[in-house]
Amino acid sequence: MSERVLSAVAEQILHPQWADPVPSVVWHAGEPLALRADWYDAAMSLIGSRTFPTVSPRWGLQTSGIGLDDAWLALLRRWNIGIGLSLDGPADLHDATRRTRGGKGTFGAAMRAVGRLREAEIPFHVITVLTRAHLGEADRLFDFYLEAGIRRVCFNVEEVEGAHRASSLAFAGVERAYRAFLERFLERWSACPDRIWVREFAEAIALLATDERDGFNEQTEPLAALSVAVDGGVSSFSPELLGLASDRHGSFVFGNLLEEPFAVIAERIRSSEIAREIASGVAACRASCSYFPLCGGGAPVNKLAEHGRLDATETLFCRLTRKVLFDVVLDALERGLRLTDEAVVASDGQEVHL
Ligand code: SF4
């Protein structure tokens, strides 16, 4: 990413007209650690020097952990970067899908990154992508996190998305299997004194606890989440759309920061056919789904992948990550599982006491 693109991001997008005072800026996609730590040091310094004084980014990074060296540890500390490691559990589960181009498993490298982060006392979370093979392994996964000293866990499900045309989770009875997985994990989680923070439970409990469920969803709201490509192309809604195109919609890049002011791109995003189609999907969700106040209409990228349209409603993704999840957490609350007597730290760092 050139200095011109970085400067344009700083001056145009990280501007109070568009950005929160503390916007979350995440280095994502591909493998961020393929570049050296000093490139990021220079990039973040440049952005800092060009950003409006009242806007102060909170940095994040999602990585395989391969290549996490001393220079990276120093950079994480210096910039207080929130780091997420892609780690799919014990070696057999992780290495089943996370391999090098030569076919070697990357579990060892990911665990070395865990060790280095722990040793350096740098907080981190892991993102585990759940496949069909994980669903019967709730106990093994829980024990793995405990033993590895991993205390912050996020579960993604294997999604049908972009080039990934099929999911191992697309089988009859997946809701039952996913429900059993979550229930067992929740049971272990609630009984464990050395509690692991689990994004799914924390966010579901926080949402269920608030009276302000307005169905806000940054993936369906124009400009709420912006993605910038290496060449300055800008997309919005689901971040994954940045790299996608469809026959019906063409590219999901709405304009380029090097060619026109962001205000022009923003207006194009708001008034686009894509925004209209996403909004009608949200309206259909609102009219048909009792989970809408908790979900806000799902993820456009999954609607596109599973239905070829953005105005669809239910997807495999939402059945698992919204409907089954909320059912499991609600049932647990009703059964009086010990979910209510401790603070749950939500992803934004806010403490939610129930
Ligand atoms: S759970 Fe699914 S169907 Fe319901 S609002 Fe969300 S995306 Fe729409």
pLDDT in tens, the chain (354 residues): 999 999 999 999 999 999 999 999 999 878 999 999 999 999 999 999 999 999 999 999 999 999 999 999 999 999 999 999 999 999 999 999 999 999 999 999 999 999 999 999 999 999 999 999 999 999 999 999 999 999 999 999 998 777 888 899 999 999 999 999 999 999 998 888 777 899 999 989 888 887 776 778 999 999 999 999 999 999 999 999 999 999 999 999 999 999 999 999 999 999 999 999 999 999 999 999 999 999 999 999 999 999 999 999 999 999 999 999 999 999 988 887 655 544 454 444 444 333
pLDDT for the residue 89: 98
pLDDT for the residue 351: 41
pLDDT for the residue 341: 45
Mutation to probe ligand 1, out of 159, 295, 326 (largest number of atoms < 8 A from CB)? 295
Contact yes or no for 85/152 (Cβ under 8 A): no
Please give the Cα distance from 231 to 147 (Å, whole number).
Answer: 42
Lookup: tokens for 22: 């503390």
pLDDT for the residue 219: 96
Please give the Cα distance from 287 to 350 (Å, whole number).
Answer: 31
CB 303 near ligand 1, within 6 Å: no
With residue 157 as reference, give the H or E element that holds it: strand 152-157
Reported for 252-255, long-range contacts at CB under 8 A and 24+ positions apart, including other chains, are 253/229
Please give the Cα distance from 78 to 319 (Å, whole number).
Answer: 40
pLDDT for the residue 212: 73
pLDDT for the residue 110: 98
Contact yes or no for 51/71 (Cβ under 8 A): no
Please give the Cα distance from 118 to 124 (Å, whole number).
Answer: 9
- Which residues, listed in sequence order, are joined to residue 164 by a DSSP beta bridge? 161
Q: Which amino acid is at 25?
A: V
Look at strands 233-236 and 255-256 and give their pairing: antiparallel
**What is the number of the ligand 1 atom nearest to the C-alpha of 282?**
8
CA-angle at 216, arms to 213 and 222, nearest 5°: 170
Q: Which amino acid is at 21?
A: P
* pTM strictly above 0.85: yes
Gap from CA of 6 to ligand 1 centroid (Å)? 36
Contact yes or no for 120/73 (Cβ under 8 A): yes
pLDDT for the residue 349: 47
Strand, helix or coil at 105?
Answer: strand
Look at strands 250-251 and 255-256 and give their pairing: unpaired
Closest by CA position to 202, among listed 336, 63, 348: 348
Gap from CA of 341 to ligand 1 centroid (Å)? 30
Number of H-type helices and E-type strands within the chain? 14, 13
With residue 126 as reference, give the H or E element that holds it: strand 124-130
Please give the Cα distance from 60 to 31 (Å, whole number).
Answer: 13
Please give the Cα distance from 10 to 28 (Å, whole number).
Answer: 17
pLDDT for the residue 216: 83
Those residues with Cβ within 8 angstroms of residue 253's Cβ, 6 or more apart along the chain or in another chain: 229, 233, 234, 235, 242
Backbone φ, ψ for residue 15 (5° rounding): -120, 145
CB 298 near ligand 1, within 6 Å: yes
Closest by CA position to 65, among listed 26, 114, 99, 129: 114
Contact yes or no for 228/57 (Cβ under 8 A): no
CB 294 near ligand 1, within 6 Å: no
